[in-house]
């Protein structure tokens, strides 16, 4: 396939750079990789560039995970300065989370674009609603479950994050806060979860999409190198600003802001399905 006239690329690149900067702030602020904003924007960008609609969602998710790699690494480094990251949990998830990511990539490869949109919108809506309501609906204990329970949770977080193209912050924040951990620690640890998701996710989506003739030029499997290179530098630069802001806000402020953000993303995708 060929791209439209090159005169269209200037606004597209500027949009992607601006998106990268905004997502970088979100990565530091909420401990997410920015995928919840990358995926919908990338999807509409690819559709505008005449990418085959049947693979545009897959390409958006894979590209989002690729962008999240440097963003999550930078966000993790910023949060470690505040000594709030649960490094023990991250070590326990070194196998469970990537295993879930690979499983998610395989499911995505066998799913249609519409099915992936439904998954994305559904999970984002449920989690956003939970964050706005607060902790009451999900309060499973005063500390995290045993190793088996944590491993299962890590696998599920990796699986769902891979299907959504996100860094896992939306899910890990919910998991940790439901078991009595502070939101600030959950946010900080989520930046490390993003690393465990994004690196194997990048590899998995590159492999499952390899050789598809419907892909646009400069694609590495289901990853658009053009879009990734436009977004990643801006996101990398702005992530520390979000991390510093996160430690100046209250738990409830973080919950409300995060919840409203997720609901807006879910509604945007539902609107695109009707």
Distance, in Å, from the CA atom of 33 to the CA atom of 267, rounded to the nearest integer, reads: 20
Which pLDDT score is estimated for 1? 46
Distance, in Å, from the CA atom of 130 to the CA atom of 22, rounded to the nearest integer, reads: 23
Distance, in Å, from the CA atom of 121 to the CA atom of 138, rounded to the nearest integer, reads: 20
> Whose CA is closest to 194, among 84, 61, 58, 35?
35
Distance, in Å, from the CA atom of 1 to the CA atom of 133, rounded to the nearest integer, reads: 46
Asked if 45 and 51 count as a contact pair (C-beta separation under 8 A), the reply is no
Report angle CA 135, 85, 232 to the nearest 5 degrees: 100
Q: Under DSSP, is residue 224 helix (H, G, I), strand (E, B) or coil?
A: strand
Distance, in Å, from the CA atom of 116 to the CA atom of 121, rounded to the nearest integer, reads: 9
Does the pTM surpass 0.85? The reply is no
Phi, psi of 212 (to 5 degrees): -70, 120
> Whose CA is closest to 99, among 148, 150, 155?
155
- Each residue's pLDDT expressed in tens, for the chain with a length of 274 residues: 444 455 556 777 787 788 778 777 776 776 565 677 778 778 888 888 788 988 999 999 999 999 888 878 877 887 777 777 888 999 999 999 999 999 999 999 998 888 888 888 888 788 788 778 765 556 676 778 888 999 999 999 999 999 988 888 778 887 888 887 877 788 788 888 988 999 999 999 999 999 899 998 889 999 999 888 888 888 778 877 877 777 777 767 777 877 887 788 788 777 766 5
Residue 219 DSSP one-character state: B
In whole angstroms, how far apart are CA 224 and each of 29, 60, 121, 209? 26, 8, 22, 11
Distance, in Å, from the CA atom of 265 to the CA atom of 92, rounded to the nearest integer, reads: 31
């Amino acid at each position: 396939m060929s791209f439209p006239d090159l005169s269209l690329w200037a606004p597209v690149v500027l949009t992607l750079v601006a998106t990268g900067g905004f997502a970088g702030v979100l990565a530091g602020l909420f401990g997410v990789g920015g995928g919840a904003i990358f995926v919908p924007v990338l999807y509409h960008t690819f559709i505008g560039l005449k990418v085959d609609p049947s693979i545009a969602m897959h390409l958006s998710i894979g590209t989002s995970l690729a962008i999240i790699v440097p963003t999550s690494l930078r966000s993790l480094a910023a949060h470690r300065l505040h000594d709030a990251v649960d490094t023990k949990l991250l070590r326990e998830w070194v196998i469970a989370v990537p295993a879930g990511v690979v499983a998610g990539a395989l499911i995505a490869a066998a799913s249609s674009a519409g099915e992936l949109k439904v998954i994305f919108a559904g999970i984002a809506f449920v989690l956003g609603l939970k964050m706005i309501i607060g902790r009451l609906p999900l309060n499973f204990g005063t500390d995290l479950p045993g190793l088996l329970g944590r491993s299962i949770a890590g696998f599920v977080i990796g699986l769902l994050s891979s299907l959504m193209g996100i860094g896992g912050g939306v899910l890990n924040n919910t998991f940790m806060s439901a078991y009595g951990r502070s939101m600030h620690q959950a946010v900080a640890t989520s930046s490390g979860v993003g690393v465990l998701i994004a690196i194997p996710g990048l590899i998995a989506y590159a492999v499952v999409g390899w050789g598809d003739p419907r892909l646009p030029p400069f694609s590495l499997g289901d990853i658009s190198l053009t879009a990734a290179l436009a977004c990643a530098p801006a996101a990398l630069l702005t992530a520390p600003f979000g991390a510093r802001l996160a430690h100046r806000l209250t738990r409830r402020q973080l919950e409300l802001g995060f919840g409203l953000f997720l609901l807006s993303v879910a509604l945007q995708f539902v609107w695109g399905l009707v």
